[in-house]
Amino acid sequence: MSGPLIVLVGPMGVGKTTVGALLAERLDAGYRDTDADIVAAEGREISDIFFEDGEEHFRELERAAVRSALAEHPGVVALGGGAILDKDTRELLAGLPVVYLSMEANEAVRRTGLGLARPLLAINPRQQWKQLMEERRALYTEVARAVVPTDERAPEVVAEAVIEALGLGPAAVPGADPSATPGKENQA
């Protein structure tokens, strides 16, 4: 069974979408984002789903969206920041090439936009972000094959670090010679 090439997890604002899109381009693969899948399927924004139907309902939609994306998508998949709260989702992630994009609280605060479009950070973003991370840090680490810090790093540098951390070279790119062994791509 061929699962996704890369699964990105990590907190809101860490750059999963930007880095995921760069990785997809770099690896000539498709990109899929479970938040975007939910918005498309529901025809409304995540913040509207939270406010109209509550977080629990959103988490149900998210669980189903993650399951579909992991089953169907062979490229790069980025999960919403809270997807790993679900036990079934964590079980699905076991054994997959999951990378946790991490950042420190100061970096999170420095990055603009934290809060406005994100219902969980609507009030007192700094405090809420810290609290969320206390609850989630161990879960991100548990599901991850590699942790890649993003603090003060450009998205291109982060993408390169993800590729390196997973040992993904040209041999892993769809369409590449499947008989190629790691290291062969470096031979002239």
Nearest to 64 by CA among 97, 42, 96: 42
| Closest by Cα among 83, 29, 40, 24 to 58 | 83
- Residues facing 76 on adjacent strands: 6, 31
Coil, helix or strand for 101? strand
Does residue 46 touch ligand S3P according to CB under 6 A? yes
Q: How far is the CB of 49 from ligand S3P (least distance, A)?
A: 9
Contacts of 64 (CB under 8 A, 6+ apart): none
Does the annotation list 48 as a binding residue? no
Does the footprint of ligand S3P cover residue 81 (CB under 6 A)? yes
Task: Check whether 90 is labelled as a binding-site residue.
Answer: no
Of the two residues 52 and 164, which places its CB atom closer to ligand S3P in the complex?
A: 52
Could you tell me the smallest distance in angstroms from the CB atom of residue 180 to ligand S3P? 34
Q: Tell me whether residue 17 is annotated as binding.
A: yes
Figure out which of the listed residues 32, 63, 73, 118 binds ligand S3P, where binding follows CB under 6 A.
118
Count the site residues for ligand S3P by CB under 6 A: 10
3-state secondary structure of 2: coil
Q: Is 43 annotated as a binding residue?
A: no
Question: Any contact of residue 35 with ligand S3P (CB under 6 A)?
Answer: yes
- Does residue 4 belong to the site contacting ligand S3P (CB under 6 A)? no
The answer on whether 13 is annotated among ligand-binding residues is yes
Q: Is 14 known as a binding-site position? A: yes
State the Cα–Cα distance between residues 6 and 74, nearest whole angstrom. Answer: 9
119 interacts with ligand S3P by CB under 6 A: yes
Enumerate residues 7-26 that contact ligand S3P by CB under 6 A: 12, 16
For residues 184 and 147, give the distance between their C-alpha atoms in angstroms, rounded to a whole number. 26
> Where in 129-188 is the site for ligand S3P (CB under 6 A)?
none
For residue 99, the cross-strand partners are 8, 146
Tell me the HSE value of 105 on the side-chain side, using a 13 A CA sphere: 11
Return the residue matching tokens 């590699």. 146
Nearer to ligand S3P, 82 or 97 (CB): 82
Task: Using CB under 6 A, list all residues that contact ligand S3P.
Answer: 12, 16, 35, 46, 80-82, 118-120
